[in-house]
Each structure stands twice: as structure tokens, then as C-alpha cells.
Structure 1
């Protein structure tokens, strides 16, 4: 691991414990084992370190999509066809794998804790979290579900409401079990039940 990568990792760790405002550049440098002046050779400010953390998080999400061979988000027609071809068991397996990534990936887990900590302390930091994990997720799923309704894969309904019905329980489970060493099986059981119920309500009978 390079010094720059260590700075990012140690900064995220401190942010997830002490918060963004509660962590100084000196705190980060001390954890890495370098002087403040050495840190500034890699990053111009604490904000730049945070921006790098956000970029790394988005790249991890992209790599997950590639590994899982998820459809391109920009093409809703093809995405709807791809997801429509999944059986219930396929959908359960896919949902589990994505859920476990966000729950168990150390980088994502620490970012999640940091963002929730900053909710009432740093609106700018929390806004990034809200945009990525709330607004963007709901918007994408609403567009996707709307296209699946148009193609006769899902029953006709309000696509935004459908997206909320699908995503909100998952977001709740991630919030509930993040950082816990126990409860994984309980979370997966609840997730399975949620996916099955969603499938039962919205999937057109074949």
C-alpha cells in the first residue's frame, strides 16, 4: 500500500470514529506515521482527502457492478429485460450478494458510519451520502421499475412508490446491521422475505 493509499484508509477510519470535523490533518498524519508537511505532498487539504474517499467508494460500486455483471444503468430498456429474465431465486441470490458487499466491505462500512455520524454535524458531507444512497438509488430504481411496468414484467403501479417499497427496507437493514459482528443471518432472512414479498406484489404472473 502506498503512502497516499494509507492516508486515505487512515483518514476514513478516523472520520468514521471522530467525524470529519473532529479529525485534523495532524491526526491523520500521526496515524500514518508521517509529518503534516509530508501529508501535504499527497493532498492539499482534508477536503481533498475526503473527495478521494468518495471517488474510491464510487469506484468500488462500479467494480461490484462489473463483477456481478449488472446491466448498464443508462439503458433502462435493456436493464428491464435483463432483470425481467431473472427468476425469483436468481433475484434472491443477486440481492444477497449486493447486500453483503455493502454490509461487509470494510471501506463501505466505514463510509456508511461516517456519513450517519455527520448527519447532524456536517451537512455537506451528509448531502453526498444522501445523494448517492438515497436520491440516486430511488431515482434509478423508479426509472427501471417504470420500464419493467411498460414491458409487462411488473404490474402497473406508481414506479416511485415501488422503488421506495423495494429500497427502504434494504436501507434500514444496512443501517441496523452496519458495524455489527452478529446478526448477518437474521439480516439475510429478513432481506429474503422482503424480496419475495416485493416479487409477489409487483411481478406479473407468467
Structure 2
């Protein structure tokens, strides 16, 4: 691992425990084992380190979801006819399998966990971090799921209700389980069992015509 990469890794470790504002460049340098001045050979300031962490987080998310063929070439979530057909082709078991795969990734991937914790801490100190936390943890997911569900409701596959409300019904329990069981992989199996039960219930109470 290069020094530049170690700076990012150790900065994220510190940010995820103390928050961005409470950590200084000197703190980061001390953990890395270099002089403070050496940090500036790689990053102009602490904010540049923070921004690079978020960029890598976004790239990691995009790379993961590309496996499901639901992101466009720029890594954005794309709602089009092809994506709609993809979701309409899911059976109950496929929906559960894919959902559990996503949950496992977000729950256990080291970068995902630390960035989530960093933003959870920092949102109380920064309005910018609070807005970013809401967008990354809630808004993007709800917007995307609402658009998908609207198309499927219009096609008569799901119960005819407000698609945003239905998206919250699906997403909110899963998000709650992140925080209820966010104590490491030892808790993962408990969370996965509950996620599967929730998705089966959602499918059987919301789907009119089997996918």
C-alpha cells in the first residue's frame, strides 16, 4: 500500500470514530507515521482527503451495483424499460437473493461501514454532512425505488398505492436493521434472517401478479 493510500485508510478510520471536524491533519499524520508536512505532498488539505474518501465510496457503490445492471455508464441509477423488465423478471426467491446480497455488502464491506459511521457522526456537526447522509442513506434509494415501483404499479403488478409510500415500506425496515445490528459480522446472520422475513412479507402483501 502506498503512503497516499495509507493516508486515506487511516483518515477514514479516524473520521469514522471521531467525525471529520474533530480530526486534524496532524492526527492523521501521527497514525500513518509520517510528518504532518508529508501529508501535503499527497493532498492539499484535509478536505481533499475527505472528498477523495467519498469519491472512492461512490465508485465502490457503483461498481457493486453494476453487477445487477441497474446503473448507467456514469454509475448513476437508471430507471428505463430495460431495468423495468429486469425487475419484472424477478421471482420472489430472486428478489430475496439479490436483496440479501446487497444487504450483506453494505453491512460488511469495510469501506461502506466506515463511511456510514463517519457520516452518522459528522451529520450532527455539519449541515453539509447531514444533507449528504440523507441523500446517500435515504433519498437516492427512495427516489430510485419509487420510480421502479411506479412503473410496476402502472403495469398492474403491485397494489395501487403511492409508490413513494410503498418504497418506504420496503426500505425503512431494512435500513433500521443496519443500525440495530451494526456491531460487526457476528450480528449479520440475525439481520439476514429478519431481512428475508421482511422481504417475503412485503412481496406477499404488495404483489398482485407474481413477478
Please give the range of the TM-score, normalised by the shorter of the 2 chains. Answer: over 0.9
Structure 1 match to 2:48: 48
Tell me whether 1:78 sits opposite 2:78 in the alignment: no
Q: Match for residue 128 of structure 1?
A: 132
Within-5 A mapping of 1:1-206 = 1-70=1-70, 72=72, 73-206=77-210
TM-score under structure 1 normalisation? Answer: 0.94
**Alignment TM-score, normalising by the size of structure 2:** 0.92
- Matched residues, number: 206
Post-superposition shift, 1:205?
Answer: 2.6
Point out 4+ residue stretches in structure 1 off by more than 6 angstroms: none
Cα offsets for 1:97-148 (capped at 9, x unmatched)? 1000000001110111111112322222232121111111111111111011
- Displacement of 1:85 in angstroms is 0.5
SS in 1 for 2:183: coil
Cα distance, 1:131–1:103 mapped onto 2, change above 3 Å:
same
- State the distance in 2 between where 1:95 and 1:181 align: 17
Paired with 2:54 and 2:208, the residues of 1 have a C-alpha distance of 38
Specify the SS of the correspondent of 1:41. Answer: coil
Counterpart contact for 2:108–2:184, Cα < 8 Å: no
- Root mean square deviation, CA, Å: 1.5
SS of 2:161's equivalent in the other structure is coil
Q: Distance in 2 between matches of 1:100 and 1:147?
A: 27
Q: Secondary structure at the match of 1:21?
A: coil
Contact 2:149 2:163 in 1 (8 A): yes
CA distance in structure 1 between the partners assigned to 2:80 and 2:152 by the alignment: 9
Q: Which shifted more, 130-139 or 179-188? A: 179-188
Could you tell me whether the CA contact under 8 Å between 1:138 and 1:164 is conserved in 2?
Answer: yes
Per-residue deviation, residues 60-85 of structure 1 (Å, max 9, x unmatched): 10111123444643233222211110
Report if the CA contact (8 A) 1:71-1:78 is conserved: no
Q: CA deviation at 1:204?
A: 1.8
Q: Which runs of no fewer than 5 residues in structure 2 stay unpaired?
A: none
